[in-house]
Structure 1
């Protein structure tokens, strides 16, 4: 509006010196000047003011529809909001979702069907929200406990094998070459290499280097959810890897005996007790060389 007033005053030569200087400095001045040059030579016939007024009065006046400026901005803002919302929702549903639990952490979250997942330390899950109700599939790296809502088939894929259920509670662990599945409720189907096995309540299976071990469990959920790390016939290096994940530390082992298998439990919230159990079992001496590094030496 201010620019239009200045343009009108300039055409009528009514600008003050300061206004003229500011107007000539504007980026559009050159364009206005050219327009004025091309139109100055045009001549108009003398107007019959009385005839013009009579014609105007004879014509039916149409009431212009005025849309308040604030309404225009409101419509525009609403359109932008709807567009942004649509883009956000589409991006959210199409983009793979990732949930992680860092070393020394545990993460609990819900899937779109309200199934519950608890991730153990050093673990990750990826899935897509799009068509989740008809395609309940996710990828797991590490270990997780699942409480699956009833519905269509539910699949957990790992680099070592696949677990398929309809509605149940189970635990899956895929670390290095070891694949463990425990069924706490209902039944699950486990696929490993060319082997397929059905587990029911209280049954567990472990695969390592194509060797299968079946066991019975008498607990209602994984011990790690109660801050206990449970091992069944695992070597010391696998045991120390889990200690590193649970306590977010680095462990160095100086021992010739790395093949003896360990079955038992370690606390995941008391490092000194865990180190004492390992030292006693393997006849080692634990040295804390820094805040986050432990060295085991042979006695």
Structure 2
């Protein structure tokens, strides 16, 4: 409310010297100034009340009408209101859009071109709606499955690499130093460091600490979409971090051996079964301390 009040005073040049200095120092001042410059046409000329009254009296009046003569501040208020709507629209359209999936949850949403995105647990995507059809670019943290509508180049930027496609279905995953990309339909171009790879239907690639590993694909879509956590040559630390993310729990691991690699699947909707598989595979003992706290020890 205070912010809107200052905005209105600024538009009417009613801010004190101190208020103006504070307003110009605010992080949103530059956006307000640009929008104000673009909407100068909203300023209403001074109202000639005598001319308006004269024109009304010249008209033939069959039924007496009462026509109120609004003062200039009314039009100023209307301009402020329209400008505020313009600012709100600009923030929603030009500003960064963010979609997230909390731990233990998945999120499905559509992009402006009706491309569909499914975010895995503990993941985030940022993009801009403005000029989307000509610049289909987004930033991903975590893991997401994309069903991309045909159009201009579609880019997924991560901190480890970039994926470029036209119209296709693919999965992108970043975890610490590992970067996985799988193509389920069409073609996908993967850029990692100085390496560029073209993937086609049924192909996948993984990079970890600069090393390349080709993935074996046996499904038509990511296993996590069907509530299965799939691992391929992952160590137990990576495995447990993914279980924590999917179930929104905290796991304390007390074991010396963290280098043994695991390839297989764990359920994402049955914690007891997932923990049992881990315990049997690594010969560990699982203890539930509370609903969200698990301790795993050596036997």
Fold match, TM over 0.5?
yes
Separation in 2 of the partners of 1:277 and 1:197? 35
SS class of match (1:146): strand
SS class of match (2:91): helix
Query: 1:272 corresponds to which residue?
Result: 272
SS class of match (1:256): coil
Separation in 1 of the partners of 2:190 and 2:55? 77
Please give the residue correspondences for 1:201-212 in structure 2 after superposition, counting only pairs within 5 Å: 201-212=201-212
Query: 1:90 corresponds to which residue?
Result: 90
Please give the residue correspondences for 1:130-149 in structure 2 after superposition, counting only pairs within 5 Å: 130-149=130-149
Gap runs ≥5 in structure 1: 1-60
Separation in 1 of the partners of 2:125 and 2:103? 15
1:71, distance to aligned residue in structure 2 (A): 12
Matched, 1:188 2:188: yes
SS class of match (1:112): coil
Q: CA offsets, 1:200-231, max 9 Å, x none? A: 00001011111111133121111101000000
Separation in 1 of the partners of 2:74 and 2:228? 58
1:79, distance to aligned residue in structure 2 (A): 4.9
Task: Return closer, same or farther for 1:69/1:107 CA change in 2, 3 Å cut-off.
Answer: farther
Q: Based on CA coordinates, which of the two structures has the bigger radius of gyration?
A: 1
Query: 1:12 corresponds to which residue?
Result: none
Query: 2:231 corresponds to which residue?
Result: 231
Q: CA offsets, 1:65-106, max 9 Å, x none? A: 663369999977865554333222111122111111110010
Separation in 1 of the partners of 2:55 and 2:135? 59
Query: 1:118 corresponds to which residue?
Result: 118
Please give the residue correspondences for 1:1-299 in structure 2 after superposition, counting only pairs within 5 Å: 62=54, 67-68=67-68, 79=79, 82-299=82-299
Separation in 1 of the partners of 2:54 and 2:97? 58
Separation in 2 of the partners of 1:221 and 1:259? 29
Query: 2:3 corresponds to which residue?
Result: none
SS class of match (1:259): coil
SS class of match (2:219): coil
Runs of 4+ residues over 4 Å off in structure 1: 61-66, 69-81
Q: Figure out how many residues of one structure are paired with residues of the other and give that number.
A: 239
Give the TM-score of the pair, scaled to structure 2: 0.75
Separation in 1 of the partners of 2:273 and 2:101? 24
SS class of match (2:112): coil
Gap runs ≥5 in structure 2: 1-52, 58-65
Task: Return closer, same or farther for 1:62/1:174 CA change in 2, 3 Å cut-off.
Answer: closer
